[in-house]
Amino acid sequence: MDNLNGLLAFVRAAQMRSFVAAGERLGISASAVGKSVARLEEKLGVRLLNRSTRRISLTDEGTLFFERCQRIVSEVEDAEAELARITDKPRGKLRVSLPAIGYRMLLPILPEFAERYPDIELDLDFNDRLIDVIAEGVDAVIRSGELMDSQLKSRTLGPFRFVLISAPHYFARHGTPTTPRELEQHACLRYKFPGTAQLQEWKLRSKADEPPLLLRSALTSNNLEALIFAATQGLGIAFIPDFVVRDALADGTLVSVLDDYQTDSGKFSVLWPSSRHLLPKLRVFVDFLAERLVLGKPEP
């Protein structure tokens, strides 16, 4: 069993390039991970990992050993999954990564999930960073947009559309745009994609021969919450997923404009590693989201 623990510690450390991250995944201290790997190296008589103050990396011998060990650990996890499937009792920690704004769509339905499955402990990471699901040991991620990773299985959760919004007093002061071209005369609050710093395009219906909109960015941010707050303060017009501001639109805190020109829509999906069996805890979570998560429907 000690050999197996050493293999597992080594594989997790090699995958995450960090004893700290490996320890968090395994539920032990970084020191325990390091000692376990050191015992394995001593037993094998070779150095598997190069250590530095900032990160770890595989040696040449470690790379060869890692390729075999990763398959062994995967087989053990699959065997555990099969045993868990026999009991069919959803339980244990479930690590899920979501967009930073994801709490607005998920938290309202979590009380019902907790009541149905009290033995599942949710570990939620709200972050717009595009994570490596397999390398970081996450059970599932919720993402929007096109799905490119062939190593992941997915299930569509729900569609949404975008709306142009601001506070009523902004439009009272600056006028309400009646065509997309008039947006060029307004202060625009733009979303900046994390990592690339690329500004999100505002896709609106226009004539085929019309030139692209030249929007004046009064504020840019990689955080939708910041843009929503700026809009409620009357700093400008923001382009936001409708489900995020549904309540604010209903109570009049925010007002939408140019709804008839909206063409942009999106969808959320939940993804998980294709190399893993769908454990009961993950299966019920995916089914619950598909059943209860209602974001809205894009207009035709």
Same fold, 93-158+266-292 and 161-265: yes
pLDDT digits (tens, 9 = 90+) for 258-282: 999 988 778 888 988 876 567 888 9
The chain-wide mean pLDDT, for the chain, equals 85
Torsion angle defined by CA atoms of residues 274, 102, 247 and 291, in that order, rounded to the nearest 10 degrees: 20
Please say if the pLDDT value at position 297 is more than 60: no
Looking at residue 250, its pLDDT comes to 94
Specify the CATH number for 161-265; select among 3.40.190.10, 3.40.50.150, 3.20.20.70, 3.60.70.12. Answer: 3.40.190.10
> For 72-86, 97-111, 215-229, which range has the lowest pLDDT when averaged over its residues?
72-86
Q: For residue 29, what pLDDT band results from cuts at 50, 70 and 90?
A: confident
- pTM exceeds cut of 0.75: no
Contact (Cβ atoms closer than 8 angstroms) between residue 200 and residue 190: yes
Check pLDDT > 70 for residue 294: no
Strand pairing category for 187-191 and 216-221: parallel
Alpha-carbon span 34 to 13, nearest angstrom: 9
Tell which residue, 43, 74, 244, has the closest CA to residue 151: 74
CB 165, CB 253: distance < 8 Å: no
| Nearest Cα to Cα of residue 75 among 272, 280, 275 | 275
Q: Class of 93-158+266-292 per CATH?
A: alpha beta
Q: Is 59 left (phi over 0), alpha (psi -120 to 50) or beta?
A: beta
